[in-house]
Structure formats: C-alpha cells, structure tokens
C-alpha cells in the first residue's frame, strides 16, 4: 500500500518528518508531495524539505491513502487548494485512508466536508479547532474511525504514526517498528 504525504509551506516538521520516518521504518511506502511548483517546501520552523512529487504532476490513483501534517500555515494552504479538497473527497468516497494531525482535521477535513459528521476525530485542542469539529471532537492522542485517522498535534506524532502503521501493516509491524526505534515503554 502506497501512501501520499502532502506538504505545504508552513507544515509542522515533527508531525511530517517524524511520521514519515516511522512509516518508512515499518516498510510502508510513503511519498511526499508539495503544493509548490518546485520540490522545495519550507516547514513552520524553517526546515526545508525536498518533496518527491509536486501536486501538479500527481497521479492520485497510485496511492491508497493520504497524510496531512498540521502546522497552521501548511493546513491553511492545504484547505485553500481545490485539488487537495477534491482528492480528499474522492479518497473518502472510495474508503481510502485519510490521516490528519494537529490543525489539519479542523481546517482541511472540514473544508473538504468530511468533518464534522458521523465520525469521531481529534485535533489540536485550540478552542476554534475544537469548535470546527463540533460533535465529532474527542479529546484523545489519536482517533481511528473507519478510514479516518486523526491526532492532536506535534507531541502526538508517534501515536499518529502508530495508528497509520497498524491500519496499513498491522499491529506486529507497529510493535516491531516502535521497539526498534526505542519508542516502546
């Protein structure tokens, strides 16, 4: 199963790169894709990342899921990009994995019309974000609800990555990946 991670300028680096690292350690094929016309994307804390794909050249049928890191600027940019919103609606209609962390559930998933609704979700616990999720909001490190995985924020990237690994590669792969990375208590 190949996953796609969307990066927009202002993305939260630890959510994106920590998650990406753990997914790849688990053997989960994950490609990065920028909204920019060139591969370079700048994170919220000034870390530059060279993405593997640009949205303009993306074949979305090559992927079985999408990952949306947070970071206010990055999430706002994702939410303002029609191609991203269409991709999310299409993936959701097909039951493909959609994983969002921090500001992304409240800003991007609501802009796509996927939340609030019948699914539970979490996000960064800022009042405006919680209000955006309405009755869907659950205060938890990470929430898995059907094809949707959401997580609170930067300090929860490992919970987020673990939920994705469990979903696509199984509990044993998650356990081994986390043990090998010394992330198991």
Residue pointed to by tokens 């994702």: 78
Name the CA dihedral angle for 161, 163, 168, 170, rounded to a multiple of 10 degrees: 110
Q: State phi, psi for 91 to the nearest 5 degrees.
A: -60, -40
Beta bridge partners of 29: 2
Give Cβ neighbours of residue 171 (< 8 Å, ≥ 6 apart). none
| 33 catalytic per annotation | no
Exposure on the CB side of residue 178, measured as CA atoms within 13 A: 20
Active-site choice (33, 54, 102, 123): 102
Catalytic residues: 102
């Amino acid at each position: 199963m190949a996953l796609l991670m969307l990066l927009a300028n202002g993305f939260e680096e630890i959510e994106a790169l920590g998650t990406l690292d753990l997914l790849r350690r688990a053997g989960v094929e994950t490609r990065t894709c920028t909204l920019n016309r060139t591969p370079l994307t700048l994170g919220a804390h000034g870390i530059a990342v060279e993405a593997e794909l640009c949205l303009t050249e993306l074949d979305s049928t090559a992927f079985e899921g999408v990952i949306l890191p947070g970071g206010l600027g990055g999430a706002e940019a994702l939410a303002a990009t029609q191609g991203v919103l269409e991709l999310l609606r299409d993936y959701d209609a097909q039951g493909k994995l959609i994983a969002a962390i921090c500001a992304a559930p409240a800003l991007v998933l609501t802009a796509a019309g996927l939340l609030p609704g019948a699914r539970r979700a979490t996000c960064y616990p800022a009042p405006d974000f919680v209000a955006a999720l309405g009755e869907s909001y659950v205060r938890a490190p990470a929430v898995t609800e059907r094809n949707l995985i959401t997580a609170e924020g930067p300090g929860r990237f490992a919970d987020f990555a673990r939920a994705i690994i469990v979903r696509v590669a199984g509990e044993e792969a998650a356990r081994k990946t986390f043990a090998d990375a010394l992330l198991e208590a």
